[in-house]
Structure 1
Amino acid sequence: MTATSTPRTIRLRDDRPPLVAPAMSNAEDPHERLRLTSRWIEVDGTPTVPVTGELHFSRIPRRRWEEQLRLLVASGLTSVSTYVFWIHHERERGRVRFDGDLDVAAFLETAERVGIDVILRIGPWCHGEVRNGGHPDWVVTALGDRARTNDPEYLTLVRDWYGRIAEQVRPFCGPDRPIVGIQLENELHDQPDHIAALKVIAQESGLSAPLWTATGWGGAVLPAHDVFPLYSGYADGFWAGQGSTWDDSFRDHFRFTHVWDDPGVGGDFREEGTEIVVRPVDPEFPPSTCELGGGMATAYHRRPIARARDIAALANVKIGNGSAWQGFYMYAGGVNPEDGLQESLVTGYPNDLPRFDYDFQAAFGATGRPGPSLGVLRDHNAFLAAFGPRLADTFSSLPDDAPVDVHDLDSLRWAVRADGTSGFLFVNTHQPHEPLSGSTAVQFRIPFADGELVVPDRPIDIPSGVIGRWPLRIDVAGVRLEWATASVAGIVDGAVPTVVLRVHDGLGARLQLGAGSRALLRGIEVDAAAALDLAPGDVLVVDGALRVLVVDEERAERLWYLGADLVDSTDAVWRESGDLVVRAEREPTALVWSGEEFAPLALHTDAHPGTTRLTIEQLRPVRDAPARYGESMGRSAAPDDGQFEEVAGVWRVVLPEAQDRSRGELIELVVDWKGDVAQLRADGVVIGDRFWDGLAWRIDITEISPDADLTLHIAPIAAHSVIDLDASVRQRVDAAGSLGAVVRVEHIVSSRWTSAL
């Protein structure tokens, strides 16, 4: 390591627009708990950084709503966002359904009971990878291009539809109610008058909320004052064209910048060559997101894999950029409620999506079980819960030598978010597909108003792959954290609170405490005047007022912050009626932080969980796959029913005897398979499907009769198949020449394990 270096410098510049109180949530539709300013969102009178996660109630069985919402709260969300898809509720004109899994009022009642706010996205055009963007077929047939305009006939239909929604949700609107936001339309870029008209119709129908939002990306022109623009950011996207490389619009989200518009999302709906005018943030509203990729869907022609650290890096960069509100899409995946509701080339879309599957590789997958990004998002959300009130009234500053070219892989990417005297240093040396370089002999010079701060006290090497948020003169429980080369995560309440410090892989953790501090490390007093070298597992007690728990990246992603309880668990954990509840298929190994150490959490269940490897019987072999079944707009088309039957192999799955389902058991099939397209059929009827992306397929079969004749149908994939796959998956296909098989099927019964604390 180099002994000396020239510290990297930054000027702290508060370029924010003046602090004002918009009419929204203040003069109009005031709310008892939530209030908007031009710089932040206040919750219960305190500036904060809320976190929203997308969950589509009509894509999740009603029996799982409460558990799923409790898990959203347990993973750090403050609100849930959900579409009300018109086509889900009124496939035939005049036959409107709000029953069963479509009962939006029951969903809202459940959310209120659980204690999570709701953002209602009412369209009428939503997208969400739904047929016609959510417009029923009869609307498309009757109006064609007049839909999504101020055409009087269309507005009449919208007025009726909004009225139907209002009948269901009006009791949940108001100054003390759980609906805190309503989104109008989606990705409508050039019709501000139409969005304004939609808001008037919604209000006349009896809908109200302190926040009225609209998507602001793609150079959208929105009606002034009427809607709060929200932005997006994805690490990769299924919507890119066939054979395209990793687009610059994705690369852009892994550098620190103060440009919030995203010209990539929704690009598949724009004509080729359309110029996007990137617009600045409306100074009346703080920069905020509603769609940071918490995962990614697979289209037939393009199947990216959403890896956890890609999602973590993107989320961390957005906070470093100055985000005032983070919304993740999707946070909980699901399954379409009926066949024929998916986006497809047949209906004029540029993409074929699965008929049922909408797992989205989300933080919680289609069956409600933890997905790849859950651990990193819990860590991120815990930071915002603990330090959001400090972040809210800070400004983001970028170094003068910040990389301006998304193809610059060598310059160190960093930013500071501060209030002039304290804050956080954000570092990012991670991105997918094209790894960023590390940097050697690094120090940072931060010119705070009360004295310059150099971090760390000696030069360090920052390796590739670091996703950092380092404290700068932050006070916690009266203890000064002067700086650290490790990331602060959450704070655990208690007589002596615990702050969690996450050590980065390949980077030593040093912590400098404030002057005059006294500290015990592993029970032994240490010299707190000098920077301390810390390691995972260390517990530092400072001034008898604060514990610093040091964890590695792996443990950080297992932690659940549940008020005064910190739980280490790979299984899903939530709080319910004073108990901690864990869902698992075998005895969990959950640990709870005692304030001194992690101790086993005693859990019990009255159910009979377990995992069984099922017998599978091949009934028909796969046949040769063509290079393409068809194409549209240059993109490969999924096989139609006839084409699928010609090539698909068939396997019968033998289920075990009926399971008792009275104690909240969840019954899943986990299918390890390889091929192109898979279908699960019960008694000959398709009940689930999947496009292969190299990942296992989990299917909720809790409500399927054990006497059902279950068969798996697999269409093969070949080296000549024109499909964009993740590089690791493409290598498997090319090496084999052709793949089409069921490798293993497991029958998993998970149950609720409870512990009263």
Structure 2
Amino acid sequence: MPVLQTDKAGFLLDGRPFRLLSGGLHYFRVHPGQWADRLRKARLMGLNTVETYVPWNLHQPRPDTFRLDGGLDLPRFVELAAAEGLHVLLRPGPYICAEWEGGGLPSWLLAEPDIRLRSRDPRFLAAVDDYLARLLTPLRPHLASQGGPILAVQVENEYGAYGDDTAYLEHLADSLRRCGVDVPLFTCDQPVDLERGALPGVLATANFGSRSAHHLAALRAQRPEGPLMTSEFWIGWFDRWGAHHVVRDADTAARELDELLATGASVNFYMFHGGTNFGFTNGANDKGTYRPTVTSYDYDSPLDEAGDPTAKYTAFRDVIAKYAPVPGEPVPAPGPKLALPALVLTESAELLPHAAALSPSTVESRRPLTMEELEQDFGFVLYETTLPVRGPALLEIEQVRDRAQVFVDGQPVGVLEREQHEHALAFAVPRAGSVLTVLVENQGRVNYGQGIHDRKGLLGKVLLDGVELAGWTNRPLPLADPAGIPFAPTTATPVGPAFHRAVFDVDDTADTFLHLDGWTKGNAWINGFPLGRYWSRGPQRSLYVPAPVLRSGPNELVVLELHAGHRARTVAFRATPDLGPTEE
């Protein structure tokens, strides 16, 4: 592979003028069995490059553990891109935002109570240096300087919106160089933050979604020489629970792209293909009110969540063809989809009575421990203590992170939501010595702004009638895989959180969408693969099921319903998604 260079006018590749036509494609949001398909469709739209973030929190779930396997096999993803004739832009963080849990920063960093993330805090820098060494050593053969497809590597991510410590950015750039990164480095920031996030000697790029000529002129005013590029050309947006599904008109986005390319600038679409926040990996925002992101990361992209071309795909392909060669092959047809008759989940197991089967270890403490103190990344924590009095009582929790379901002697008495700024709950205690149980869900660590220091669980004091409750049992429930749950046939509707199970047969596997009409809130798994969260709050009302998750013959569906749920306990597998209503 030729090496990318810059001169006063722009990019050079193998000594010839070159324009990056790139699209965001996050390998960790796509089933690895579908990587090759998505990369092929990137090439067919006219792209010559793909861009990906790297989620530190998945690759290094614990300080002494590093993963590059399965859906995290980044070297394989890069090799598949090269096989398709595509270059790669690598954005390793350490912080990535991406509407991803914690912006990609591992939760174990927050076990240090006073750590300062994205700073020169020695504890943070030591962890970053270790991460980059573990990540980049196996990736070094894939750098363009070594004959691989990785043309350039990003330093941090939109740092100008967070801080202005140039020495911090210099440390990261030096760390990348020490790890053998000898291809060009670049930074990206929104136009108003360019100077705060820039690094001398490193290419500065801008992020925006409209007024391309205006923003690129501002970039040129600050950088009189060198390539013009937008590292995130926003052609869609993400969704949050309780809002509308966000879409952007394809023709409008195409006109903006035409304006951008007419300036001679390079571009990276954010996103080309969004994918899915499988499992518990969605992030959240908090600008005074906590707002978690939904499971789908469709992003109204040229390829939809199932990898099918949209109107944007064709519109963008036509614009690109005005400025660069586009493959003569036709626009790919949508992939096959699976629809099945309604399925009844006939087996159940209540969560609270079977918590020990899900997580046998508990920790005793005077006060509730955070997830980070319990060395837990995702999922739930089950807290228990005894209540010393009977009769009417007021429970007050200093901070709920993020959603607490409260039970007394196993009976639900209420819910406290961080999103609603709720801290207090009144209920009747039937007897002295009753057991207070609090099931707390991490709905996604904040991924943007100062709120990234987002510890989960019950934080601060827990009071009953003004007196602090002490003597807690903490049980981590990461729920990475619901295997081991003792299911049994049942016709009764559980009162509290419960797992429900069904086995269904498939002749020929294909993508499908799980619709949970009538269910309230929870998670779903197929054959142990975590599809993600559902919530009747919407807008999203279906979960994408990748074809490689299914198998010919029997398949297992498990649904965790956190509330009383659907009395009929039926679900549907349909050929089309429901991402919710859009704003008029």
Aligned-partner SS, 1:73 = helix
Q: In 1, are the aligned partners of 2:99 and 2:293 still within 8 Å (CA)? A: yes
Equivalent residue, structure 2, for 1:79: 49
Aligned-partner SS, 1:357 = coil
Distance 2:310 2:562 in 1: 26
Aligned-partner SS, 1:198 = helix
Partner of residue 205 from structure 2, selected from 216, 220, 230? 230
Cα 1:676–1:346 change in 2 (3 A) is farther
Distance 1:131 1:117 in 2: 27
Aligned-partner SS, 1:109 = helix
Aligned-partner SS, 1:101 = helix
Shift of 1:700: 1.1
Equivalent residue, structure 1, for 2:214: 258
Equivalent residue, structure 1, for 2:545: 699
Equivalent residue, structure 1, for 2:229: 288
Shift of 1:694: 6.5
Shift of 1:86: 0.8
Shift of 1:629: 6.6
Distance 1:685 1:58 in 2: 14
Would you say 1:298 and 2:239 are equivalent positions? yes
Cα 1:183–1:674 change in 2 (3 A) is farther
Q: In 1, are the aligned partners of 2:157 and 2:187 still within 8 Å (CA)? A: no
Q: In 1, are the aligned partners of 2:531 and 2:545 still within 8 Å (CA)? A: no
Shift of 1:307: 3.1
Would you say 1:614 and 2:377 are equivalent positions? no
Equivalent residue, structure 2, for 1:119: 89
Equivalent residue, structure 1, for 2:524: 680
Aligned residues: 433
Q: In 1, are the aligned partners of 2:237 and 2:246 still within 8 Å (CA)? A: yes
Equivalent residue, structure 2, for 1:363: 302
Would you say 1:136 and 2:78 are equivalent positions? no
Equivalent residue, structure 2, for 1:381: 320
Shift of 1:171: 0.5
Distance 2:517 2:9 in 1: 49
Cα 1:222–1:713 change in 2 (3 A) is closer
Residue identity matched to 1:698: Y
Q: In 2, are the aligned partners of 1:82 and 1:119 still within 8 Å (CA)? A: yes
Equivalent residue, structure 1, for 2:389: none
Shift of 1:182: 0.3
Q: In 1, are the aligned partners of 2:346 and 2:500 still within 8 Å (CA)? A: yes
Partner of residue 68 from structure 2, selected from 98, 121, 138? 98
Q: In 2, are the aligned partners of 1:123 and 1:186 still within 8 Å (CA)? A: yes
Distance 2:104 2:321 in 1: 34
Residue identity matched to 1:385: A
Q: In 2, are the aligned partners of 1:614 and 1:653 still within 8 Å (CA)? A: no
Cα 1:655–1:294 change in 2 (3 A) is farther
Distance 1:672 1:653 in 2: 14
Equivalent residue, structure 2, for 1:341: 281
Q: In the TM superposition, what whole-angstrom CA distance separates every residue of 1:493-516 from its partner, at most 9, and x where no partner exists?
A: xxxxxxxxxxxxxxxxxxxxxxxx
Distance 1:91 1:642 in 2: 16
Cα 1:629–1:160 change in 2 (3 A) is same
Q: In 2, are the aligned partners of 1:260 and 1:287 still within 8 Å (CA)? A: yes
Distance 2:496 2:268 in 1: 41
Would you say 1:316 and 2:252 are equivalent positions? no
Equivalent residue, structure 1, for 2:488: none
Aligned-partner SS, 1:150 = coil
Equivalent residue, structure 2, for 1:152: 122
Q: TM-score, normalised by structure 2?
A: 0.63
Residue identity matched to 1:259: H
Aligned-partner SS, 2:205 = strand
Q: In 2, are the aligned partners of 1:196 and 1:223 still within 8 Å (CA)? A: no
Cα 1:283–1:700 change in 2 (3 A) is same
Distance 2:544 2:158 in 1: 31
Residue identity matched to 1:303: H
Q: In 2, are the aligned partners of 1:81 and 1:119 still within 8 Å (CA)? A: yes
Partner of residue 181 from structure 1, selected from 140, 143, 152? 152
Q: In the TM superposition, what whole-angstrom CA distance separates every residue of 1:236-277 from its partner, at most 9, and x where no partner exists?
A: xxxxxxxxxxxxxxxxx2x56523499xxxxxxxxxxxxxxx
Percentage of matched positions with identical amino acids: 22
Cα 1:618–1:206 change in 2 (3 A) is closer
Distance 2:60 2:45 in 1: 34
Aligned-partner SS, 1:120 = strand
Distance 1:741 1:296 in 2: 33
Aligned-partner SS, 2:236 = coil
Shift of 1:362: 2.3
Q: In 1, are the aligned partners of 2:515 and 2:541 still within 8 Å (CA)? A: no
Residue identity matched to 1:571: A
Q: In the TM superposition, what whole-angstrom CA distance separates every residue of 1:75-127 from its partner, at most 9, and x where no partner exists?
A: 11111111111101111111111111111112222222221111110111111
Distance 1:34 1:279 in 2: 20
Cα 1:153–1:698 change in 2 (3 A) is closer
Residue identity matched to 1:192: T
Q: In 2, are the aligned partners of 1:366 and 1:699 still within 8 Å (CA)? A: no
Would you say 1:215 and 2:189 are equivalent positions? yes
Higher helix share: 2
Q: In the TM superposition, what whole-angstrom CA distance separates every residue of 1:399-419 from its partner, at most 9, and x where no partner exists?
A: xxxxxxxxxxxxxxxxxxxxx
Distance 2:303 2:212 in 1: 28
Aligned-partner SS, 1:311 = helix
Larger RCO: Structure 1 or Structure 2 (Cα < 8 Å, ≥ 6 residues apart)?
Answer: 2
Cα 1:633–1:695 change in 2 (3 A) is closer
Aligned-partner SS, 1:614 = strand
Distance 1:677 1:359 in 2: 20
Shift of 1:57: 1.3
Gaps of 5+ in 2: 348-414, 423-438, 444-493, 577-584
Q: In the TM superposition, what whole-angstrom CA distance separates every residue of 1:543-564 from its partner, at most 9, and x where no partner exists?
A: xxxxxxxxxxxxxxxxxx42xx
Residue identity matched to 2:186: W
Distance 2:558 2:198 in 1: 52
Q: TM-score, normalised by structure 1?
A: 0.50
- After superposition, residues 400-411 of structure 1 pair within 5 angstroms as none
Residue identity matched to 2:152: G
- Rg comparison, structure with higher value: 1
Equivalent residue, structure 2, for 1:200: 174
- After superposition, residues 493-572 of structure 1 pair within 5 angstroms as 561-562=326-327, 565-567=328-330, 569=331, 571=333
Cα 1:37–1:685 change in 2 (3 A) is closer
Would you say 1:351 and 2:113 are equivalent positions? no
Q: In the TM superposition, what whole-angstrom CA distance separates every residue of 1:457-515 from its partner, at most 9, and x where no partner exists?
A: xxxxxxxxxxxxxxxxxxxxxxxxxxxxxxxxxxxxxxxxxxxxxxxxxxxxxxxxxxx
Cα 1:280–1:649 change in 2 (3 A) is farther
Cα 1:171–1:686 change in 2 (3 A) is closer
Q: In 2, are the aligned partners of 1:214 and 1:230 still within 8 Å (CA)? A: yes
Aligned-partner SS, 1:326 = strand
